[in-house]
Structure 1
Amino acid sequence: MNYWPLLGIAIVVIGFALRFNPLLVVVGAAVATGVLAGLDLVSVVEALGSAFNDNRYISVTWIILPVIGLLERYGLQERARAVIENLRGATMGKLLVFYLGFRQITAAIGMKDIGGHPQAVRPLVAPMAEAAAVKTHGDLPEEEREKVKAMSAATDNVGLFFGEDIFFAIASILLIQGVLEGYGYKLTPLELAVWAIPTAICAFLIHGGRILAFDKRLGRTAK
């Protein structure tokens, strides 16, 4: 077997570790993989162009972003903070654990685009988590506020990543099925999706524990 095409994975890992431009890293890894697999450079570029053309719906993102920007300009984040400030018993830990569960459940039934960083985390989840942390622990240093925002983004990532594989019609499940079938293991997408449930539960418990521990540590930092 020709293992040289796997060098593309190393390029991705090294590129991200060195914090190079993600788009250049991914394109470079794709070109390297194609060339090492025996394709000429023109064929690799054609494949990239065809993939982009077949997935043109990705341009919808550029329609959403101006809408989110206008909502933020007219006070969406301020309103989100006000909701949390007026909600009795709200804490950053409870809020993010709830969002983690919500993200996993919606991703598990195929609604993976209902959340996300630009449309949910930045305008709603992060400001609400920050307001809840300040409400519970008092004013926080700027560094701690940034960590709250980072935890909000991480919560979205974990919820989506470990929830979407439960939905058997997702591309990742079909990819796993194809790889296993190539090695002689014939499994249906539903069988693979069922085995993603224990992983999702573990991810919820582990990351939920990290969120609550972080919330407690914030209290000690504020004091």
Structure 2
Amino acid sequence: MNYWPLLGIALVVIGFALRFNPLFVVVGSALATGLLAGLDFVAVIEALGRAFNDNRYISVTWIILPVIGLLERYGLQQRARAVIESVRGATMGKLLTFYLLFRQLTAALGMKDIGGHPQAVRPLVAPMAEAAAEKSHGRLAEDDREKVLAMSAATDNVGLFFGEDIFFAIASILLIQGVFESYGYPLTPLQLSVWAIPTAICAFIIHSWRIRALDRKLGRAAK
């Protein structure tokens, strides 16, 4: 039996221990493992390319993040603020309530990645909510500004968490189904999804009230 390919594991351990670049360590170890297993260099490269191609959806996130970073560098947040400032009657409460509804509905349809903190909240929702609050209540104190940003992030969390369970083809529903089944309650994913609707409605009502309460609190603080 050829034990030399196991040297790739040692290379991974040593590389991480020495704090080398993780991508360099993993690729180097994969190349070493393939060569020590008797494959030629071209065959190893083909195997790496095939694995990357078959799982290329994983890399989409790492492509999106630098794009968002470039957009922010060139004024995405400023443009988002300018847009909301130009909308008559826009308030932080209305904006975040609308985003909560949008997030829940899209998550309920299985589009849970259409929003999110890095791709939606930080570059768009948070600056728009801050601009709407300042438009209604004047310049915010730093503590109040942080509360607006935190509420923007919380709105995304609540919308996703209580919306996604309405979509029956999702891991959380399968987990809940497995737990109930282990206790002798056989339920279908569709049944669980239907009963997630009242919870989602309650979550929408409660969090909408919290958003409006913060908006009113900012208004009282500005007087």
Class of the TM-score when normalised by the shorter of the 2 chains? 0.7 to 0.9
CA distance in 2 between partners of 1:218 and 1:56 (Å): 45
For structure 2, list consecutive stretches of 5 or more residues without a partner in the other structure.
Answer: 1-51
2:81 alignment partner AA = R
Partner deviation per Cα, 1:26-49 (whole Å, 9 max, x = no partner)? xxxxxxxxxxxxxxxxxxxxxxxx
1:110 corresponds to which letter in structure 2? G
Distance 1:187 1:127 in 2: 43
For residues 55 and 216 of structure 1, the distance between their equivalents in structure 2, rounded to whole angstroms, comes to 48
Q: Give how far 1:61 is off.
A: 2.0
Residues 185, 106 of structure 1: CA spacing in aligned structure 2 closer, same or farther, 3 A cutoff? same
Structure-1 residue corresponding to 2:111: 111
The one-character-per-residue Cα deviations of 1:4-40 (angstroms, maximum 9, x if unpaired) are: xxxxxxxxxxxxxxxxxxxxxxxxxxxxxxxxxxxxx
Provide the alpha-carbon RMSD of the alignment: 1.6
Q: CA shift at 1:191, angstroms?
A: 0.2
- CA positional deviation for 1:63: 1.5
The match for 2:95 is 95
C-alpha offsets along residues 70-108 of structure 1, whole Å, 9 cap, x if unaligned? 000111101100011000000000000000000000000
Give 1:160 shift. Answer: 0.2
Structure 2 match to 1:222: 222
* Secondary structure of residue in 2 paired with 1:166: coil
Alignment of 1:22-101 (within 5 A): 57-101=57-101
2-structure distance, mates of 1:180, 1:204: 26
Change (3 A) 1:93 1:55: farther
Q: Which residue of 2 aligns with 1:177?
A: 177
Structure number with bigger Rg: 2
Whole-angstrom CA distance in 2 between matches of 1:200 and 1:156: 13
How far does the alpha carbon of each residue in 1:97-140 deviate from its partner, in whole angstroms, 9 at most, with x for none?
A: 00000000000000000000000000000000000000000111
Find the residue that maps to 1:140 and give its secondary structure.
Answer: coil
For residues 108-187 of structure 1, the aligned pairs below 5 Å read: 108-187=108-187
Distance across 1 between alignment mates of 2:157 and 2:213: 18
Q: How many residues align?
A: 171
**Aligned partner letter, 2:211:** I
1:194 is aligned to 2:194: yes
Q: 1:135 to 1:170 in 2, by over 3 A?
A: same
Aligned to 2:39: none
Instruction: Return the alpha-carbon distance in structure 2 between the equivalents of residues 196 and 57 of structure 1.
Output: 29
Which amino acid in 1 is paired with 2:127? P
Q: For structure 1, which runs of at least 5 residues remain unmatched after alignment?
A: 1-52
Compute the displacement of 1:58 (Å): 4.3
User: Shift in Å at residue 143 of structure 1?
Assistant: 1.4
TM-score (ref. length: structure 2)? 0.74
Q: Do the aligned partners of residues 173 and 126 (structure 1) sit closer, same or farther apart at CA in structure 2, a change above 3 Å counting?
A: same
- Equivalent residue letter for 2:191: E
Identity rate of aligned residues, in percent?
A: 84
Please report the TM-score for the alignment, with normalisation by the length of structure 1. Answer: 0.74
The CA distance in 2 between the partners of 1:59 and 1:210, in whole Å, is 37
